[in-house]
Amino acid sequence: MGQIGRLFGANAPSAADLEVLEEALIAADFGPTLAQQLVAPLHQRLSRHDLSNLDQVEAALKHDILAILSSVAPPPSSIDRQTRPQVFLFLGINGSGKTTTIGKFAHRLTSEGGRVVLAAADTFRAAAIEQLGLWGRRVGADVICHQAGADPSAVVFDAVQAARSRGASHLLIDTAGRLHTKRNLMEELKKIQRVVSRQMPDAPHERIMVLDATSGLNALVQARTFHEAVGLTSLILTKLDGTAKGGVVVAIAEQLKLPITFVGLGEGVDDLQPFVPETFTDALFVRS
Ligand SMILES: Nc1nc2c(ncn2[C@@H]2O[C@H](COP(=O)(O)OP(=O)(O)O)[C@@H](O)[C@H]2O)c(=O)[nH]1
Ligand SMILES: [Mg+2]
């Protein structure tokens, strides 16, 4: 988006310029539908001779993008935050950044004085369990784990017990994300949910989908699959440091109408930032 200045030059935009703009939006992962939706009002203004410079184009785009992003800003939570522990289930395909995001999220909570328990319910590989263990030690959170290959629901059962008996403020559950066994995965995730809610009827309080922003519109497809199976409550987008194609964030907000709560901006412990629609929109248009 930072290049739209170069797209138009100093001249008043023409209809052909707006078509180039639409292509640029598609290239930035806004998706064809949303790109068209954003450019249509500009064509109308052009035909009314109400569009004479780049600043007006940029202001109109910013306004419409911000409106989409603001409409899914996190609502005032209906969760009774007094309930301990708050149980958060993290979902997403392999490599999307679940375990790293849990580590960073746990760091935020422990820094604020929270007592955090992590559940290693991705039992598919020993390395996945070790990775969560490492984060737990790094950020000062307890980790409940079983051997590789164990039943994830059994890990979660123990983790809920542990979180309650230790008076934890938060239980963060890491899950597997092997999509090639999609049906089994969804059944496994539903079972985890049942195990949690049998012990705590209102839990899991949040079902958070972790999406890799560099995977473009595939992220949208993934989110839909998980949303249908488990009913997501919010989204976290990772690896925004690794892409210039922030449009997918707008496309996801527009399509799924789910709040985006945080964004991942790196692999470090402090690289999880609250999602602020205004900041994000401004960042989209920083001239490059
Ligand atoms: N640059 C960058 N890398 C990330 C971010 N989040 C996760 N990663 C990296 O992405 C890879 C996969 O992350 P991981 O947490 O293991 O994904 P999981 O399979 O969903 O648990 C790891 O190399 C992480 O360090 C992020 O926000 N930015
Ligand atoms: Mg993992």
CB-ligand 1 contact for 238 (6 Å cutoff): yes
Domain of residue 241: give its range.
Answer: 86-284
Whether the pLDDT of residue 75 is over 80: the answer is no
Do 41 and 155 reside in the same domain of the chain? no
Do 233 and 112 reside in the same domain of the chain? yes
Whether the pLDDT of residue 79 is over 60: the answer is no
Residue with the larger pLDDT of the pair 51 and 141: 141
- Give the C-alpha distances (Å, rounded to integers) separating 146 from 159, 187, 200, 210: 10, 20, 21, 23
Q: For residue 58, give the CATH number of its domain.
A: 1.20.120.140
- What pLDDT digit, counting tens, does each position of 94-119 carry? 999 999 999 999 999 999 999 999 99
**pTM of the complete model:** 0.92
To the nearest 10 degrees (0 to 180), the angle between helices 126-139 and 98-111 is 20
Mean per-residue pLDDT for 6-35?
A: 86
Residues 84, 86, 92: CA angle, nearest 5 degrees = 160
- What pLDDT digit, counting tens, does each position of 217-270 carry? 889 889 999 999 999 999 999 999 887 788 999 999 999 999 999 999 999 999
pLDDT, position 243: 77
Do 49 and 173 reside in the same domain of the chain? no
User: Rounded to 10 degrees, what is the CA torsion of 42, 45, 49, 54?
Assistant: -40
Do 114 and 17 reside in the same domain of the chain? no
Do 26 and 104 reside in the same domain of the chain? no
Nearest-ligand number for the alpha carbon of 130 = 2
Whether the pLDDT of residue 203 is over 90: the answer is yes
Instruction: Determine which residue's CA is closest to atom 12 belonging to ligand 1.
Output: 95
- Residue 79 in domain: no
Which of 70-74's residues contact partners 24+ apart within 8 Å by CB, and which partners? 70/277, 71/253, 71/257, 72/253, 72/256, 72/257, 72/258, 72/259, 72/260, 73/259, 73/277, 74/234, 74/259, 74/261
Last residue of a domain, one of 24, 42, 71: 71
- DSSP-derived 3-state class of residue 277: helix
Last residue of a domain, one of 18, 38, 71: 71
Whether the pLDDT of residue 80 is over 70: the answer is no
Do 256 and 186 reside in the same domain of the chain? yes
What's the rounded Cα separation, in Å, for the pair 103 and 138?
8
pLDDT, position 182: 62
Q: For residue 116, give the CATH number of its domain.
A: 3.40.50.300
* Average pLDDT value over all residues in the chain: 91
Structural domains in the chain (count): 2
Query: What tokens were used for 47?
Result: 């035909």
Residue with the larger pLDDT of the pair 58 and 98: 98
47: pLDDT confidence band, cut at 50, 70 and 90? very high
Whether the pLDDT of residue 77 is over 60: the answer is no
CB-ligand 1 contact for 239 (6 Å cutoff): yes
CB-ligand 1 contact for 125 (6 Å cutoff): no
Q: Indicate which atom in ligand 1 lies nearest the CA of residue 131.
A: 16
Instruction: Give the DSSP H/E element, type plus range, for residue 212.
Output: strand 206-212
What's the rounded Cα separation, in Å, for the pair 9 and 11?
6
Last residue of a domain, one of 71, 105, 128: 71
Do 194 and 246 reside in the same domain of the chain? yes
Whether the pLDDT of residue 20 is over 80: the answer is yes
Do 48 and 100 reside in the same domain of the chain? no
Do 147 and 273 reside in the same domain of the chain? yes
- Residue 78 in domain: no
- Residue 76 in domain: no
> β-strand 86-91 against 206-212: which pairing, if any?
parallel
Q: How far is the CA of 123 from the centre of ligand 2 (A)?
A: 10
Do 183 and 256 reside in the same domain of the chain? yes
